[in-house]
Structure 1
Amino acid sequence: MKNLRWRKMWGLIATTVLGMGASLIEPASALDCHHSTCSPDSPPPEQISTVGDTCTAAYRVSGSWDGGFQSEVVVTNDAGTPLNGWKVTLNLPTGAKISSLWNGVNSGTSGTVTVTNAAYNGTIGAGRSTAFGFTGTGNGTGATVSCSTGSTPPTGNVPAQAHTVGRIKDQGTSVQYTWPGVSFEGRFRGTGVGIVLNDAANDYDVQIDNAAPTTLRTPGNTTHWVSNLSNGEHTVRVAKRTESPWQAGEFGGFVAASGGGILAKPAARTRQIEFIGDSWTAGYGNMSTSRDCAGSGGINPNSNADQTFGALAARGLNADYQITAWSGMGVVRNYNGGNAGTDFRTYYDRTLQAVDAAVWQRPSSWKPQVVVVGLGINDFSTALNPGEPWADAAALAAGYRDAYLGFLDKLRGRYGSDTHIVLTYPTLSNTTAMADSVQQIVQRRNSQGDTRVKALHYDNAALGLDLLGCDWHPSLHDHRLLADTLRSFIGTLPVKW
């Protein structure tokens, strides 16, 4: 399948800095001067502001250099009982901007900035203090601060706070991820919720109480607030829309607005489905209404893994799901022979795709009753190029079948004999090699006694697919049709939900 975006990416040499753990939280000793040329002298506090009689914030510039500065804010509990959660409102001078902040979670970087406590320093004993610090550009002299209490911090254990079944790397106070469609579901009480993110590459959908989602475009390092809700219990769901195999996104949990609280996470669903595939499964360009997306922002703004056939079918079946897909990848051959020597199988076992080669450790709670595999479009949609390792199309098909059978062995070893595996394939205009090969693979598995392997053909013409997504990919209209087809097919299987 034509895939312009990933064809350009094969030559990338990616260096990724996984930043939230380093930029948001540093040890207390980091309050000393960070910059190699700054002055370590500590001037007296410039501004102290007290809210009520319980919480005091004191601000000082701890170092400065040409074009930048470092500051510290000390938060003191003036009450006679422990303080549980704090929020500092920081008014920066004109032209000043936060570059990096530790021991707190900031919303915004210039002007009026709110900083809430980190997971580990929200509780302050009577008469005790804690502090956060930051570096910035411009001049920090003249900033003012005020402090309020009752802001509920992140729990410090995101998997315990938010329900997710996507592949994540637990960083302690945050989690990282690269695969598309990773989502986080939480519950909170109050009038608002903050979503802690550190991601300059991906787009997200945010949904409150199952209402229509709003989209965050490459939010960066921030706490995104949803406010002015009715005072009560609410649900929040955050879903990663886009692909980012070369750069990890990071989620630092939910933060309740002042006076509210984070509640126990939603229960896991008993039904589980895993979707494995390429650009069709990932939702490449599926929100576009034109095959040429250059005029509408390119691929990422027009892609949404949360509106793919897999996500739609799973929600229709009330199932938890995991999307393990990478555009342009094939079983043995990638689009147009690109990135020779690697294929989807190279990365399938990884937690963070191309960022980190560490093997994903499957949680004991994740054992899908159905696995849907859609791999092969990139193997067969373009003709072989000179120098590729297959003598002809027949040799490519034979290699594809052998590798696919080995991949099914891996899935069987991981999930057991009870899991139903559905191999899907669309109509390719240039060849029947994919269709023929998938049918042969299923026949062979069935003849060996593995009767829970089935094939599902997506007949483009019969289904009425318009392929109006970017670069001739399925559109949202198509994904809805594919979801209905898949959901109906799963309904015919003797699945033990």
Structure 2
Amino acid sequence: MVNLHVSALVLTLATLSHTQATRFLGRVDPTTKQLTWPGTGIAFNFTGTQAVINFSDVSGDNSLAMVIDNGTQMVISNVTSNSISTPTLQQGSHSVVLRRRSEALYGTLTFENVTTTGTLDTDLAPARRIEFIGDSITVGYGEAGTFPCTNTAAVEDAPNTYGALTAGNLSADYSLVAWSGKGLIRNYVTLTPDTSPIMPELWTRYGALDADNTYTFPTAATPQAVVINLGTNDYSYQLTNSSGATFSARPPLNNVTYKQAYVKFIQTVQSHYPQANFFLTSSPLLSDTYPTTADMQHTSQANAIKAAIAQLNSTKLHFVDFPPQPGTNDTIGCDYHPGPFEHQAMAAILTPAIRSVLGW
């Protein structure tokens, strides 16, 4: 992984038509061109020696990853300029993929155009598409951090999450509709109730910061596979006070209530993607020993998801088990979230699960 510094150099380049030559990645409203959801970005091809991606607005903290000609990922840990330039390349044809590493709660970018010393070429979208719906695990929260660490935009790493890796293994385009701390029916436990939107509400948005029910479900973005990884935050109910004592800040999750909410959400998503196969996963951050052995949270969640599948009785619904992560320092990132090795392990489970169903 290479750290790429944003150049402040102003180049005299001819701005070319980019409406068809550049392709949005992930869930991006083409009328606003805001890059908000983790992993959103642009892809384009050009013939020349250099290209510049220009933004009309940069707000907050944003971390990006650029890949040129399918090479080593170059990291821009903090975008401080309204333009990002590729290095000077050999004259010829080149491909560029630029994606957000960080999520919308830290900052946003508004794409303006691409300029180049040469010409923009056609970029074709893959025929295969996967949509991932989730929380901080799907975001890549703290993945690039070294435990113990505090999560920031710079250490989130959406392009290297289990979702992105799985899509890469299957030569598929992907969209991450995910937000840290969100749940299916309730968000991560806090001392006072978190009344902010839950993930089923956020899922209806085009941009992560847009109003609810703004996503238009364009046909060209319809996925053949949908992966849902929600429940980690729903199952949280304990907090630690200033003295280090653990206490219950809210009741434990009712498994039947969780199952019923899962059924409802699946039905909602299915109404928009009736032909898609769904892969419903357990959480690697839930275990059968924490917070108590009586909770058996990992097994309880898995059984609730299986019960939802049984109730819906559809051959297009598939359960995928992500075992509890080992929890050793070489597998975890910030705040005990999955690190690179754990995301790779998850992708190694999910990839064959999707391949076996879709023949990819």
Tell me the TM-score normalized by structure 1. Answer: 0.62
Equivalent residues of 2:62, 2:154 under 8 A apart: no
Partner of 1:393: 252
CA distance in 2, matches of 1:234, 1:208: 7
CA distance in 1, matches of 2:76, 2:326: 36
Return closer, same or farther for 1:199/1:218 CA change in 2, 3 Å cut-off: farther
1:488 aligns with 2:352: yes
Partner of 1:167: 27
User: Any gaps of 5 or more consecutive residues in structure 1?
Assistant: 1-106, 117-150
1:309 aligns with 2:173: no
Name the structure with the higher strand share. Answer: 1
CA distance in 2, matches of 1:113, 1:393: 56
Partner of 1:155: 17
Q: For residues 122-167 of structure 1, what are the alpha-carbon distances to aligned partners after superposition, in whole Å with 9 as ceiling and x for unaligned?
A: xxxxxxxxxxxxxxxxxxxxxxxxxxxxx3314252xx22223411
Read off the aligned partner of 2:252 and give its amino acid letter: A
Choose 400-409 or 441-450, whichever is displaced more. 441-450
Query: Which is greater in Rg?
Result: 1
Partner of 1:281: 138
CA distance in 2, matches of 1:170, 1:303: 25
Read off the aligned partner of 1:470 and give its amino acid letter: C
User: Any gaps of 5 or more consecutive residues in structure 2?
Assistant: 1-6, 240-246
Return closer, same or farther for 1:360/1:249 CA change in 2, 3 Å cut-off: same
Q: For residues 218-244 of structure 1, what are the alpha-carbon distances to aligned partners after superposition, in whole Å with 9 as ceiling and x for unaligned?
A: 324422222421111111110110011
1:271 aligns with 2:128: yes
Return closer, same or farther for 1:301/1:247 CA change in 2, 3 Å cut-off: closer
Read off the aligned partner of 1:340 and give its amino acid letter: T
Equivalent residues of 2:147, 2:329 under 8 A apart: no
Equivalent residues of 2:104, 2:209 under 8 A apart: no
Choose 315-324 or 222-231, whichever is displaced more. 222-231
CA distance in 2, matches of 1:155, 1:264: 11
Aligned structure 1 segments of 4 or more residues deviating by more than 4 angstroms: 384-388, 461-467
CA distance in 2, matches of 1:490, 1:465: 29
- 1:116-127 matches, within 5 Å, as none
Equivalent residues of 2:143, 2:155 under 8 A apart: yes
**Which of 359, 380, 394 is 2:235 aligned to?**
380
Count, aligned residues: 337
Partner of 2:274: 416
Q: For residues 33-85 of structure 1, what are the alpha-carbon distances to aligned partners after superposition, in whole Å with 9 as ceiling and x for unaligned?
A: xxxxxxxxxxxxxxxxxxxxxxxxxxxxxxxxxxxxxxxxxxxxxxxxxxxxx
SS of 1:185's equivalent in the other structure is: strand
Partner of 2:332: 468
Indicate the percent of aligned positions where both proteins have the same amino acid. 26
Return closer, same or farther for 1:496/1:418 CA change in 2, 3 Å cut-off: farther
1:292 aligns with 2:149: yes
Partner of 2:68: 208
TM-superposed CA distance for 1:386, in Å, is 7.8
Read off the aligned partner of 1:284 and give its amino acid letter: Y
CA distance in 2, matches of 1:235, 1:188: 7
Partner of 1:188: 46
Return closer, same or farther for 1:465/1:316 CA change in 2, 3 Å cut-off: farther
Tell me: higher relative CO, structure 1 or 2? Use CA pairs within 8 A at least 6 residues apart: 2
SS of 1:170's equivalent in the other structure is: coil
CA distance in 2, matches of 1:185, 1:163: 5
Partner of 1:332: 185
TM-superposed CA distance for 1:485, in Å, is 1.4
Tell me the TM-score normalized by structure 2. Answer: 0.84
RMSD: 2.6
CA distance in 2, matches of 1:163, 1:465: 38
